Amino acid sequence: MIQNKFYSNFFDVPVGDNGAAYMQRLFSFARWIFGISLVITVLITIYLYVYIRMTKMFAATSGMMYVAKYVTTTHMVLVAILLVVQTFCYRRFRAMGVKTIQTGQEAVFNLAFKWLVRHGIATLVLLIVELINMVFQLFLNIHLLQQAQTAR
């Protein structure tokens, strides 16, 4: 257990009407987050299908293009999985938050924050995956640019 006074007194702080309204607003985003995540996941699946077909049609001009094909595919699959995980965690947070507001159960409120933390972890992992992908894509493009300049 955490012995910090802040954490033990957290639930002694009353939530006013403004705070409750902000929580309700936060919970209302869940439908939008779920819908947009679903659309993005479907688009990623379509993109991967087209991308894999396209790369089969064109022969890889270098070993780097071969690597890029698998890195891009892996990246897109990871993004799709992480979006589903994020959405699931946020929906659990929302459901428990709404239940807390309706019933006033402190234990459910504590569990809701567990799901919010998991959502934050999934977001952090997604950002790291995106950072790694950006570094790789930058490296790949610089490499291809150098190859194009030496071919002239």
| Predicted local distance difference test score (pLDDT) of residue 12 | 58
Question: What pLDDT digit, counting tens, does each position of 16-32 carry?
Answer: 667 667 777 777 777 78
| Predicted local distance difference test score (pLDDT) of residue 62 | 64
pLDDT band of 110, cuts 50, 70, 90 = confident
pLDDT at 84 over 70: yes
| Predicted local distance difference test score (pLDDT) of residue 13 | 53
Non-local (6+) Cβ contacts of 140 within 8 A are: 64, 68
d(CA 149, CA 19): 59
Predicted model pTM = 0.69
**Nearest CA-CA partner of 55 in 45, 44, 41, 70:** 70
Extract the tokens encoding 135.
């570094």
| Predicted local distance difference test score (pLDDT) of residue 1 | 47
d(CA 85, CA 62): 35
Q: What is the mean pLDDT of residues 56-80?
A: 78
Alpha helices by DSSP H, listed for the chain, are 5-8, 17-57, 63-103, 106-151
